[in-house]
Amino acid sequence: MRGAVIHAPGDVRFEERPDPTIVKPTDAVIRTIAACVCGSDLWRYRGVAEVPHPTPIGHEYVGVVEEIGSEVRSVHPGDFVVGGFLTSDNSCPHCQAGQHANCQHGGGYDGCQAERIRIPLADGTLLATPEQPDPDLIPSLLALSDVMCTGWHAAVCAGVRPGSTVVVVGDGAVGLSGVLAASHMGAARLIAVSRHADRQAIARDFGATDIVAERGDAGVRHVMELTDGIGADAVLECVGTEDSVSQALASARPGAMVGWVGVPHITELPQNHMFWKNVGLRGGPAPVRAYLPELLQLVWERRIEPGKVFDLELPLAQVADAYAAMDERRATKVLLRP
């Protein structure tokens, strides 16, 4: 089969790779229906993270089960399945507490931008749809494998409630998904921080009531103007830089939480916006499997359409073009089909 392999910064190739097979009795092998490129994949593409040797890449997918190991019980050949960007056993103490991203036996995987994928811990990682989905649902189901669950996690960690005033810092696919999550949770005032007209439009479509185009101190001032000097009840940080974390913390009202899902490119936090203001920070990689049942149901009932974050679709064989389009910001998020 063929799949994407990153050889060096800027060098992603679609090439022959070994067909995946059942290695452990808890494995499944799926045939990919759709995959996509994550903002975090761009770190290696841009040379921010190292590429020590050619590495299969990608961690977002939906597909149809082709083969299962002898111990797999919950998914069956022919099932259409969604899985998260981390594997989980759905049974360890951390999973039982809803913290599937920190499963004692789970881990990450690469190589999902491929025609076939081996999924370890299939029972605890995959969720099957009730039946084969209508084609128009595919993008939204695919969005559940990472960005929608990650935006949802930000909103959960920030404690968004009906009536909340919410700020979302970041207008990438995760930030936009955070807007959709906060809107679904009942945010009354929903301020999206975005400088790009196309992304502002998606944010408004997802429920944003206000747009703040400024960053940094100017962005904080604008939020304060919009909130009578009080600040937001909940803030979603969906970027991960020191500037964006600072902006998120400074936009929060005393006692508020910042939900933090932008993978941090910082080693230390600017706590001066935290302690004296009683602003908290909580987040990390999303426990996708914990959120999948509820969110898959919402997609299935067409109550949310997170797939709108995809603004470009390409054949999987053109995966290199997908990276280039996202790197050059010609696309927010690219959907790939084999």
Binding site for its own copies (CB under 8 A): 93-94, 97-99, 101-102, 157, 228, 230, 253-255, 257, 260, 263-264, 266-272, 274-285, 287
Contacts of 135 (CB under 8 A, 6+ apart): none
**Whose Cβ is closer to its own copies: residue 133's or residue 159's?**
159
**Whose Cβ is closer to its own copies: residue 148's or residue 286's?**
286
In the complex, the smallest distance separating the C-beta of residue 37 from its own copies, rounded to whole angstroms, is: 22
CA distance 232 to 223: 8
Nearest to 105 by CA among 6, 24, 183: 24
CA distance 232 to 209: 13
In the complex, the smallest distance separating the C-beta of residue 211 from its own copies, rounded to whole angstroms, is: 24
**Whose Cβ is closer to its own copies: residue 101's or residue 180's?**
101
* Residue 10 vs residues 50, 56, 311, 318: alpha-carbon distances, Å: 12, 14, 21, 14
**Whose Cβ is closer to its own copies: residue 164's or residue 177's?**
164
Residue 265, Cβ density class (10 Å: 0-12 exposed, 13-18 middle, ≥19 buried): middle
In the complex, the smallest distance separating the C-beta of residue 161 from its own copies, rounded to whole angstroms, is: 12
In the complex, the smallest distance separating the C-beta of residue 134 from its own copies, rounded to whole angstroms, is: 34
Q: For 181-231, give the DSSP string.
A: HHHHTT-SEEEEE---HHHHHHHHHTT-SEEE---HHHHHHHHHHHTTTS-
**Whose Cβ is closer to its own copies: residue 159's or residue 172's?**
159
- Beta strands 189-193 and 165-169: pairing type? parallel
In the complex, the smallest distance separating the C-beta of residue 18 from its own copies, rounded to whole angstroms, is: 30
**Whose Cβ is closer to its own copies: residue 201's or residue 263's?**
263
In the complex, the smallest distance separating the C-beta of residue 160 from its own copies, rounded to whole angstroms, is: 15
CA distance 243 to 234: 18
